A and B are shown apart, each in its own frame.
With several copies, the nearest count.
Chain A
């Protein structure tokens, strides 16, 4: 029993954080949000750092990192509001590719591409009528019940649907399932979709938690600068306590996220529950951080001018991505309320 990260994992996170703080500054993001730049340059830069290779097996030149390490990475991606293609391609789609049977032609090829920085993958899951970055993807994995279909850009028609998060590129998709695009089906397909959904969901949980921390940091910073009634507003107990509550939500969410990651990595039978539980905690942290952030920023929090707004909107948008909050809450509730499992204190981990 050791519920901690290795020093290597923590160091890696720290390195990524420092890199993103420089390269994905709020100013850079603002250019992307305002449409002055597209996210491509930033994403290439990040991929060049090797981040696209994290999940790729060593045979294809990757680092073969698992979900546990990714639970630190996704927080950093959230903290810096890195647009969707990175996490969707390098983590979720890579996970899907890894799970495919080796007999699927192109599997090794595609993994090598990802390793080299290719982020052109999109995934369409029945949890949403929208697919992120479908209009720029060269490869799309689409769900049809238990079947996984791999499609090329020319196999689909996309209709863009703009989001309140201006860095997102969501589309509706029209496509046809034909036998030759099917790369997995039946039990195998079902299992891969379940795992892919869970990986998507936990990638969102991690990002929400990172976003929560960013919103808290921005709010603390602002509360130390802004004065009213001759004092920093951060010295008022009402402000202090609201920010302390955000810190509380973030701290309690962390171990829930990490356990969920560990369960996913190790195919724990309760992965579904653990991941939804993580989603619920991370989602609550982000929602409170957004609300308190806007409140602490006062009227400024309601404007386009402060950086806060980008993180707030991204948190709102991600909240219902890879499963909405109703679905994730329902998964945990069903487990607790409608089963006859004895939820004794000794059952937190598999115990004797």
Chain B
């Protein structure tokens, strides 16, 4: 056990830090859930890509930098520490990227990955359906094989920022009569194809953060399939759950708001200390965020040693989603009477940041598998308790 960074790791950290100090927009970009904000974030992604910081862990040939997971943790610490913009293309880059790296053909990788790293292609996920939410395998959207193409019909929902995206990826039932996890194929669909209709869904904050996607005889070539026909579930699930979970929510993602919360507390100490519960919560937020970071470094070390990480990623999901709620709720408590103000309110200072974060935190225990499902997974796969 050695808990110091190597000189190379420190050098990488400094390089990232300096680049970010010079390049992070001074003014916070407008939310990427609007058209304008989406475009500005896409430009930022391109800038990151040009500097080689878009997908630091991908191989160089695909637009990455060939870093390992520790480097990536370092990158994230600097990225969040600098208050750099949110990653608008992360659903493609993080969720689909790993899958492509593991299962894509050389042609697919060569075509899709660099365009994804540079955000020339923007990606939306198309997992959920109206009746396949927590019950992920209950997919009914069909992809019918017809020569060299699939003809897709059906509906997907909760597709993040799909109204602005270029592509979507998801599972479709390609084997007629198949049930549950069987007979699904993993397909990539250009959203400008004929027959695709996208209808926005307003999120809690009123922004069109999600969309429904309707497929009406949408034709995609079979070369857009990842993995074998009917094996889509396997493809979707095989990429280590741990890595995917971690990529989506690096520890720095919570350490930075915890740090910001501490500052908010220090700035309002006299008022906040009237209720000692605030001090307790602030301290717990920091301590939990740090514990999550320690857990990530520990797990990354074990992954580097060749260990397989399984259902414990479900524990991570529960932990960070509850932590995120606590951080934001505590901030709202400290903000008090003005906490309800929108960012456009003249009195709003820190408020817009916290209200957005608070609203977004509400989704944490729901998406990527509700925390109820995660607790089932822990109980059944880690503890060996019976399914029924």
Contacts and interface: CB of A to CB of B under 8 A. Distances in A.
B318 interface: yes
Contacts of A262: 1, 3
B336 to A, nearest CB: 4
Contact of B293 (A234, A340, A345): A345
Interface string A236-249: 11111101110110
B4 to A, nearest CB: 6
A244 B322 CA distance: 15
A329 B375 contact: no
A144 interface: no
A172 B346 contact: yes
A269 interface: no
A130 interface: yes
B164 interface: no
A324 B268 CA distance: 14
B156 to A, nearest CB: 12
Contacts of B382: 244, 247
Nearest to A217: B383
B259 interface: yes
Contact of B1 (A258, A287, A351, A352): A258
Given A1-B5, A350-B4, A352-B13, A251 B262 contact: no
B324 interface: no
B238 interface: no
A345 B75 CA distance: 11
A348 B294 contact: yes
Interface in B325-381: 325, 329, 332-342, 344-348, 355, 359, 362-363, 365-367, 370-372, 375-376, 378-380
A320 interface: yes
**Majority SS of interface residues in chain B?**
helix
Interface stretch (B100-108, B221-229, B271-279): B271-279
B131 interface: yes
Nearest to B6: A1
A333 interface: yes
B298 A4 contact: yes
A244 B383 contact: yes
Contact of B342 (A162, A291, A301): A162
Most buried by A among B355, B359, B378: B378
Interface in A291-333: 291, 294-295, 298-299, 301-305, 309, 312-313, 316-317, 320-321, 324-327, 329-330, 332-333
Interface stretch (B51-59, B112-120, B280-288): B280-288
B312 A251 contact: yes
B92 interface: no
B135 A228 contact: yes
Contacts of B304: 2, 4
A127 B336 CA distance: 10
A10 B14 CA distance: 35
A234 B385 CA distance: 6
A316 B333 CA distance: 10
Given A220-B383, A232-B386, A345-B256, A162 B275 contact: no
Contact of B290 (A68, A302, A348): A348
Contact of B378 (A128, A233, A244): A244
Interface string B1-33: 111111001100110000000000000000000
B341 A305 contact: no
Interface string A247-258: 110011111101
Given A234-B385, A302-B203, A316-B340, A1 B297 contact: yes
B204 interface: yes
Contacts of A3: 1, 3, 294, 297-298, 300-301
B204 A252 contact: no
Interface in B291-328: 291-295, 297-298, 300-302, 304-305, 312, 315, 318-319, 325
A237 B376 contact: yes
A349 B4 contact: yes
B345 A161 contact: yes
Contacts of A41: none
Nearest to B344: A162
A235 B388 contact: yes
Contacts of A68: 1
Contacts of A342: 259
Nearest to B208: A304
B203 A326 contact: no
A244 B375 contact: yes
Most buried by B among A172, A305, A344: A344
Contacts of B332: 316, 320
A248 B340 contact: no
Contacts of B291: 252-253, 255-256, 277, 281
B81 interface: yes
B214 interface: no
Contacts of A243: 379, 383, 385
Contacts of B266: 337, 340
A236 B372 contact: yes
B347 A172 contact: yes
Given A320-B332, A342-B259, 15 more contacts: A68-B1, A128-B337, A160-B345, A170-B341, A228-B134, A235-B388, A295-B370, A298-B134, A299-B158, A302-B204, A332-B287, A344-B81, A345-B76, A345-B81, A350-B4
24 contacts: A1-B5, A4-B298, A128-B338, A161-B346, A227-B131, A228-B138, A235-B387, A240-B375, A241-B372, A254-B298, A256-B294, A277-B291, A294-B362, A294-B366, A299-B367, A320-B332, A320-B339, A325-B336, A326-B334, A329-B274, A343-B255, A343-B262, A344-B77, A345-B255
